[in-house]
Amino acid sequence: MKPNLQSFFRWRPTGAGMKTGSIVLLSFVLLFPLMLLPQNGGSGPASANDPVTLGRRLFQQNCSVCHTQATLSNPMYGPSLYRDIVNGREDAVRDYIAKGSNKMPGFRYGLKTSDIGAIVEYLKTVPKPAPRGPGVKGEDRVD
C-alpha cells in the first residue's frame, strides 16, 4: 500500500505513542516560557531606566567614536575610559563631559545632567582594557 497525504492525516497515535507524545507536548508548553526569560543570572531584564544601561547606550552613541577602537588598524582619538579613571573623581568627570576641552566637545547642550551622570555610572563598571602589544598600528591616540 502506497502512503498518501490522506492516510497521513487519518493516522492517530494510540496507546504508548499517544501518552509519550502528550507528555512531550505538555513539557514543551510548560517549559517554553522559561526559555524566554533573560539569561542574565535571573535578575530580570535590564531596564532602560537603569543608569548603567542608559549610560552604556549613551556612551556608545556619543563617546565611543573617540574613546574606543573599532579595529586594530584605526587610531583612537581620545583615551580609553574605564573605572579606575572615574572612581573617586565622579564630579570632575561629569564636569569634563559637560564642558569639554580644546580637544573634546562639551555635551551640556546635547545631554541632560542625568544622562551625563548615567555615562559616569556606566564608566564605573568598565574594566581596564588589556594592554596592547608594541608596534600595533593605531596604538597611539591622534592629537
| Domain count across the chain | 1
In a domain, 43, yes or no: no
In a domain, 11, yes or no: no
In a domain, 32, yes or no: no
Res 130: pLDDT: 80
pLDDT in tens, 27-59: 777 777 766 666 555 455 566 678 999 999 999
pLDDT in tens, 103-132: 999 999 999 999 999 999 999 999 998 876
In a domain, 65, yes or no: yes
Could you tell me the residue range of the domain that residue 73 belongs to? 51-123
Of residues 136, 61, 62, 128, the one with CA closest to residue 97: 62
Higher-pLDDT residue of 23 and 40 is: 23
Say which CATH number the domain at 78 has: 1.10.760.10
Phi then psi dihedrals of residue 26, to 5 deg: -65, -45
In a domain, 100, yes or no: yes
In a domain, 131, yes or no: no
Residue for cell digits 559637560? Answer: 98
In a domain, 105, yes or no: yes
